[in-house]
Amino acid sequence: MTVPVRSARFADAREAADLAAFLGRLLHYDRAAAVRLQAGGGALAVFGRPPSFEVLAIRTARLAGAHDFDVTVSAGELLEALDTDGADGTALPAPVTGPPWAGLLPPRSGWQERPGLPGPVDLRTRLTDAVAEFRSRDAALPEDRRTRAERDLIGHDIWSRTVGDTELPLRAVHAAQSLGFLRPAPDFPVALLTAGSWLRLRTPFGSIALRGAGGGLGTLAVTVGTV
């Protein structure tokens, strides 16, 4: 069966370039990454899952004109197809079989802001301290315990810690910084939102979402989600 070619035209070249940067960072953690694309009206939401962090990353982009599609594609093929000059539309790659996480997207509505999240400067300081602690504890391991399993235990202990007076695990903040969502500016707006069991760290450049229980994506049955 022939799959119809879908295309997307971005509002300007900056939108496509920012999306390309996000895809490049995502592919750094998983060269075979897939992304789910949901377009409605003049906006595109791109969902990905960097495996190192056990979270969903969400990047949005403005589109020129109304679009309507929902498809999962290869992140690498989408990056190659992107028209970062903004002169032409981007032909989307052929759909791929979606990974399980692609059916566990956070809800579109019902989000409420929660207090207790430290500011961006404090968040970045905590990340710096966490990385330093990991390196120190790793270096202190005896030679016979210097294994991947031991390092994973240290990482789990550090990155599962919650931030401020919230349930948000530090790994979500780490993911936001690693994917370019958390920028080094004192007045940079960040917010923590909740909807049901979902947590969402929102910044102007993207969001990190995860299930509150256990700090991961949960084990609920697959459902169709929207932005």
CA 123 to chain centre: 17
211 close to 198: Cβ distance less than 8 angstroms: yes
Q: pTM score, two decimals?
A: 0.87
For 71-109, how does the pLDDT look when each residue is reduced to its tens digit (9 = 90+)? 999 999 999 999 777 666 789 999 999 899 998 899 989
**2 belongs to a structural domain:** no
**216 belongs to a structural domain:** no
CA atoms within 13 A on the CB side of 189: 6
113 close to 192: Cβ distance less than 8 angstroms: yes
pLDDT of residue 160: 95
Instruction: Examine the domain organization and report whether 90 and 156 are in the same domain.
Output: no
**124 phi and psi angles, rounded to 5 deg:** -70, -35
Structural domain including 93 reads 7-103
Intervals of the chain under pLDDT 50:
1-2, 214-216, 218-227
Distance CA 71, CA 39 (A): 9
Domain boundary among 82, 103, 124: 103
For 102-131, how does the pLDDT look when each residue is reduced to its tens digit (9 = 90+)? 988 999 899 999 999 999 989 999 999 999
